[in-house]
């Protein structure tokens, strides 16, 4: 009987020791410097951008955007001074990046196995709606285009997977494949974003390009609204310096403008950063096409 009690004590002791070891291992994973040691705060744990984007000897997620922002935005988030543009008006910040899509274009050169990555250019803009209220046509606080999740591949006889529309009661323009959350609050006519990056002048009789919205979130952070726009894979017109953006209502996407709700500019200094990113991407694409053509010619 005593031997059985001793055996049970030993088993309980082993279980207890194993549990303690497991807990200690988990704590070491959560606190890499040691569970019991007073560890220095990691850079990635900081709410200051300039700190959490600084390498401290361990792996971290590196921001892939190029930025321009106001002094106030820099102060709020601890952004580095080189991104500050004191003449930025109408928005608090803009962030550009190239994103690889989660699917490929295949069948290049008429061969099913020849595939290339798709990508999209996104510019997020941050707007303080206490300064500049936007003409929302919906009470929805956030939305995104479903092109880049699994619903893209699903359709029914009456509904395509990616078919965003205008909210009920809004008079639409001829536009598809984008989120459409803005309208004139008086006439209920849809409002869209336009820009003049691809033209030497912004002319109300022409010289504009339509922008699509990939997503938005109202009051996203620090009270700011964030809107993701399809800008800019094409680059600027050679004579263009600063680029003007306008949120307008029109009878169609062509002029004339019926009402303008918002306007801002993205400066040359920001576009030079975009140009650098685009040039790297274009060189990579050119190399792909050269190799594809070479493989086709060799067969």
Contact yes or no for 94/270 (Cβ under 8 A): yes
Q: Are 201 and 103 contacting, i.e. CB atoms less than 8 angstroms apart?
A: no
- According to the model, what pLDDT value does residue 15 have? 45
pTM for the structure as a whole:
0.80
pLDDT 10s digits, 249-294: 998 878 889 999 999 999 999 999 999 999 998 898 888 788 877 7
Report the pLDDT value the prediction gives residue 22, as an integer from 0 to 100. Answer: 61
Q: Which of 168, 91, 102 is nearest to 137 (CA)?
A: 168
State which of 153-157, 266-270, 295-299 shows the largest mean pLDDT. 266-270
pLDDT tens profile 21-49: 566 555 544 555 444 334 678 999 999 99
Could you report the per-residue pLDDT of 102-146, keeping only the tens digit for each?
Answer: 788 888 877 888 888 788 899 999 999 999 999 999 999 999 887
- At 11 the pLDDT is 44
Which residues are CB-contacts of 21 (< 8 A; sequence separation ≥ 6)? Answer: none
Query: What mean pLDDT value characterizes the chain?
Result: 83
φ, ψ for residue 76, nearest 5 deg: -65, -40
pLDDT digits (tens, 9 = 90+) for 48-62: 999 999 999 999 999
- Mean pLDDT to the nearest integer, 68-74: 97
Question: CA separation (Å) from 29 to 34, 45, 223?
Answer: 8, 16, 35
Residue 230: the pLDDT is 92
Angle made by CA atoms 278, 283, 289, in degrees to the nearest 5: 125
| Residue 229: per-residue pLDDT | 96
Instruction: Spell out the domain ranges in the chain.
Output: 58-290
Is residue 3's pLDDT more than 70?
no
pLDDT the model gives residue 37: 39
Residue 118's pLDDT is 82
Residue 96, beta-bridge partner list: 66, 123
* CA atoms of 142 and 104, how far apart (whole Å): 27
Nearest Cα neighbor of 243 from 31, 94, 45, 84 is 94
């Amino acid at each position: 009987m005593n031997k059985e009690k001793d055996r049970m004590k030993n088993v309980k002791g082993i279980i207890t020791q194993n549990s303690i070891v497991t807990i200690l291992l988990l704590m070491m994973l959560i606190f890499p410097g040691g569970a019991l040691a007073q560890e220095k705060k990691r850079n990635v744990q900081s709410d200051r951008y300039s700190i959490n984007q600084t390498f401290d000897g361990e792996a971290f997620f590196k921001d892939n955007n190029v930025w321009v922002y106001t002094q106030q935005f820099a102060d709020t988030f601890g952004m580095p001074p080189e991104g500050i543009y004191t003449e930025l008006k109408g928005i608090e910040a803009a962030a550009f990046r190239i994103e690889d899509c989660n699917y490929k274009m295949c069948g290049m050169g008429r061969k099913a196995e020849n595939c290339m990555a798709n990508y999209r250019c996104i510019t997020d803009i941050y707007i303080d709606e206490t300064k500049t209220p936007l003409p929302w046509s919906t009470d929805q606080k956030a939305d995104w285009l479903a092109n880049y999740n699994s619903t893209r591949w699903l359709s029914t006889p009456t509904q395509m997977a990616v078919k965003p529309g205008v909210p009920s009661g809004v008079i639409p323009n001829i536009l598809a494949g984008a989120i459409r959350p803005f309208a004139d609050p008086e006439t209920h006519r849809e409002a869209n974003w336009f820009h003049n990056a691809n033209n030497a002048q912004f002319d109300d009789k022409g010289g504009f390009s339509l922008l699509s919205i990939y997503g938005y979130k109202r009051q996203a952070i620090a009270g700011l609204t964030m809107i993701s726009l399809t800008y800019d894979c094409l680059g600027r017109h050679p004579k263009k310096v600063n680029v003007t953006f306008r949120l307008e209502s029109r009878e169609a996407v062509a002029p004339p403008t019926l009402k303008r709700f918002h306007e801002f500019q993205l400066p040359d200094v920001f576009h030079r950063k975009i140009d650098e990113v685009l040039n790297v991407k274009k060189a990579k694409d050119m190399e792909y096409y050269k190799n594809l053509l070479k493989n086709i010619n060799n067969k």
